[in-house]
């Protein structure tokens, strides 16, 4: 079996750094889309891929095992290093074997299969809107414009353990497998992706054109695309290594979720501007707190108030911690009203503290936590 590889990553048109990473170590391929303030996203995506690269080279465990180990490593690092507290990453990996692609997946990067004129999505997004579509709360069309469409329900490195979707996909001669970050799929729809893949035989040209299309549509996020053309001939790919475009990464701003945030704020900004409160939006935008979303402890950006029915905050991260468990502890009894944080990192640190305090309380501890 022959794998012809095309790969490209781009900062996009808006972001100040590229927090996406990719791995090309035939027959193993992966993309990772990091999140977390400051250096966090970049560190998370790169570390996760380095871990699976190392474990794969040693032949340790299944691909999903390697991803679970990567989760632990990123999580441990985020606890130890204050500069990257709360970081996380998506990870979508494909191990190409004879006649089969083994996939392991966490988050909202995606894998696609193009075969005989049909593009099929192989992965399920671990996002709030994907869950809302499943429960029938919203339609797929509504999800595309939902202000919270980029909020992840599962990421690698944000919890001690993570569920990894794994599957084996039978491969045929002439198949094309695509791995990509949401910087592509958020800007370019599936028919367009298919058209570009079909118009360009060279996987590298196809990858470059897909990046160009995403940038042409606005390039609001970092974009990473891996295109694998599978054929029955002998030989294999020749590229190798963990890649990440060089970038200046000192910029503050919650880098990963700007897309969702920008849309949430458009109507609010208009109202505030109309009221002559020019600095209000910037002020609100800098505020962070820990509150409750879907009965879970969650990190919010904004302020926990809704004057005149305006929502001045949005969920950045929903943990798997029960808000009832948190509210049962005296320290967090007012979590429903929002616990203010000094910033994004502080908000994630508070969530970690709540988790520890709940574990401590259940183990018969004091039930009192640190200040966060």
**Least separation in angstroms between CB 369 and Mg ion:** 33
Q: 102 or 150, CB closer to Mg ion?
A: 150
**Least separation in angstroms between CB 372 and Mg ion:** 28
Closest Cα partner for 24 from 196, 251, 179? 179
Q: 182 or 325, CB closer to Mg ion?
A: 182
* Residues that contact Mg ion, how many (by CB under 5 A): 5
Within a 10 A sphere around the Cβ of 292, how many other Cβ atoms?
21
Sole binder of Mg ion in the list 37, 157, 183, 372 (CB under 5 A)? 183
**Least separation in angstroms between CB 56 and Mg ion:** 24
Q: Which of residues 216-235 bind Mg ion (CB under 5 A)?
A: 221
Q: 41 or 372, CB closer to Mg ion?
A: 41
**Least separation in angstroms between CB 155 and Mg ion:** 11
Q: Roughly how many angstroms between the first and final C-alpha of the chain, as a whole number?
A: 53
User: Counting contacts by CB under 5 A, is residue 33 touching Mg ion?
Assistant: yes
d(CA 107, CA 130): 11
Q: 184 or 196, CB closer to Mg ion?
A: 184
Q: 125 or 357, CB closer to Mg ion?
A: 125
DSSP 8-state symbol, 211 = H
Q: Which residue has tokens 């569920």?
A: 163
d(CA 188, CA 145): 14
Cross-strand bridge partners of residue 241: 24
Q: Which of residues 163-182 bind Mg ion (CB under 5 A)?
A: 181-182
DSSP 3-state assignment of 338?
A: coil
User: Counting contacts by CB under 5 A, is residue 372 touching Mg ion?
Assistant: no
User: Counting contacts by CB under 5 A, is residue 86 touching Mg ion?
Assistant: no
Q: 254 or 338, CB closer to Mg ion?
A: 254
Q: Which residues contact 167 (CB under 8 A, 6 or more apart)?
A: 102, 103, 122
Q: Can you give the C-alpha Rg of the chain in angstroms?
A: 21
Residues of the shown chain interacting with Mg ion in the complex, contacts defined by CB under 5 A: 33, 181-183, 221
């Amino acid at each position: 079996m022959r794998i012809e590889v095309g790969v490209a990553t781009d900062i996009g048109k808006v972001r100040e750094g590229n927090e996406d990473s990719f791995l090309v170590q035939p027959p193993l391929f992966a993309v990772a889309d990091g999140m977390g303030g400051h250096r966090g996203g970049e560190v998370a995506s790169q570390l996760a891929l380095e871990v699976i690269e190392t474990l794969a080279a040693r032949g340790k465990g299944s691909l999903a095992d390697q991803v679970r180990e990567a989760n632990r490593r990123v999580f441990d690092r985020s606890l130890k290093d204050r500069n990257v507290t709360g970081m996380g990453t998506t990870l979508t990996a494909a191990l190409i074997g004879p006649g089969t692609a083994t996939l392991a997946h966490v988050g909202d990067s995606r894998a696609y299969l193009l075969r005989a004129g049909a593009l099929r999505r192989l992965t399920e997004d671990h996002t709030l809107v994907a869950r809302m579509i499943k429960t029938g709360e919203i339609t797929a069309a509504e999800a595309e414009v939902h202000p919270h469409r980029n909020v992840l329900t599962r990421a690698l490195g944000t919890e001690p353990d993570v569920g990894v979707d794994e599957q084996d996909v039978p491969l045929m001669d002439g198949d094309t497998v695509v791995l990509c970050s949401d910087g592509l799929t958020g800007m370019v729809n599936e028919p367009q992706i298919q058209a570009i893949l079909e118009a360009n035989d060279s996987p590298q040209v196809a990858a470059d054109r897909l990046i160009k299309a995403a940038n042409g549509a606005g390039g609001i996020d970092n974009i990473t695309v891996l295109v694998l053309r599978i054929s029955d001939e002998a030989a294999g790919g020749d590229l190798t290594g963990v890649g990440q475009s060089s970038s200046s990464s000192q910029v503050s701003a919650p880098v990963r979720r700007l897309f969702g945030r920008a849309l949430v704020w458009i109507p609010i900004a208009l109202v505030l501007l109309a009221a002559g409160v020019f600095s209000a939006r910037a002020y609100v935008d800098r505020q962070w707190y820990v509150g409750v979303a879907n009965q879970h402890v969650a990190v919010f950006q904004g302020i926990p108030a809704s004057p005149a029915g305006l929502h001045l905050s949005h969920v950045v991260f929903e943990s798997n911690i029960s808000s009832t468990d948190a509210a049962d502890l005296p320290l967090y009894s007012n979590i429903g009203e929002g616990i203010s944080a000094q910033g994004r990192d502080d908000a994630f640190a508070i969530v970690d503290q709540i988790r520890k305090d709940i574990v401590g309380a259940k183990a018969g501890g004091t039930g009192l936590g640190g200040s966060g």
